[in-house]
Amino acid sequence: MIMLPIKENRVASKILGACLIGAVLMLSACATVPLTGRESLRLVSDSELLSLSLKQYDEVLKTSKLSHDSAKVQMVKRTGERIAGATEQFLRDSGMESDIKNYKWEFNLIEDDKTVNAWCMPGGKVAVYTGILPLTQDETGLSVVVGHEIAHAIAKHGNERMSESLLVQLGGVGLSLALAKQPAATNQIFMAVYGATANVGILLPYSRLHESEADRIGLVLMAMAGYDPRGAIPFWQRMNQQGGSRPPEFLSTHPAPETRINHLQSLIPEAMKYYRGK
């Protein structure tokens, strides 16, 4: 038996204690992703994320130029509201009706033709950049984007990535403590997690698993909202063609190779079961 010096023993005990706490947290903080049934890590409470979301969303709107093109703005709001209605029905059908109260939907179009991007923060705060509209082309194409982003939100992929980032980058501290001790770093992690910093080059890409789940859920949401899910295929084909040697921001966080399109095609039959048309 090898005996450690008292000081090293204390250090080892602290490390072991931290590992045990981390293990307990991860085991007790798992939740289920709707439709797929996957267990995911969520160390951050919904209330904490909602509070931070409102603050950061307001900041984005203050520092961005909102579009005054009434036709485009109304299209974004109309598409968003239809997807939002479908999302609430989807949550009811998935036994997650209690989550609906957390969503205070808001859809804004940001005037920035160079930014091909869109994102959804917790609480249903959605931003679409004008740079993606030439690729969406119409409401069906836009519903692919909005449905996909909202799918990330209701699957709580952002919470999962925020939890992982807090564990890796800030030592596993809670969100409140992280904000108190390292507010700038914590806010930066949050904005990067939700794709809202794409215009300054700070990105934390979703995993292939997250993308696959958002594709699947997003197709169902657009179908429930009355948009033909088959419209997702030509949209992603246009995104691929736009990519070139330097992909736009939306592709940086949402990789769309040919294999992805093939996967989407395999998901269409399931989504069509929810499609009634409008």
73-103, pLDDT tens digit by residue? 999 999 999 999 999 999 999 999 999 999 9
pLDDT at 199: 42
The answer to whether the CB of 155 falls within 8 A of the CB of 214 is yes
The pLDDT score that the predictor gives to residue 107 is: 98
**Each residue's pLDDT tens digit, 192-224:** 777 675 443 334 456 778 889 999 999 999 999
Per-residue confidence band for 168, with pLDDT thresholds at 50, 70 and 90 = low
Q: One-letter amino acid identity for 193?
A: V
Residue 40: φ, ψ to 5° = -130, 155
Task: State both tokens at 265.
Answer: 């095609």
Q: What angle do CA 36, 42, 47 make, to 5 degrees?
A: 115
Percent of the chain, pLDDT > 70?
Answer: 74
CA gyration radius for the chain? 20
For the stretch 41-54, pLDDT in tens is 887 888 888 888 89
- Exposed, middle or buried: residue 53 (CB in 10 Å: 0-12, 13-18, 19+)? buried
Confidence at residue 191, expressed as pLDDT on a 0 to 100 scale = 73
Does pLDDT of 112 surpass 80?
yes
Q: How far apart are CA 133 and CA 184, in angstroms?
A: 32
Q: Which of 48, 149, 211, 249 is catalytic?
A: 149
Beta strands 118-121; 106-110: pairing state: unpaired
Q: Quick check: 179 pLDDT over 50?
A: yes
217: how many CB neighbours lie within 10 A of its CB? 27
- Return the higher-pLDDT residue of 267 and 176: 267
In 3D space, the residue among 147, 34, 152, 151 whose CA is nearest the CA of residue 82 turns out to be 147
11 pLDDT band (50/70/90 cuts)?
Answer: very low
| CA 105 from centroid of its chain's CA atoms | 15
For this structure, is 213 an active site residue? no
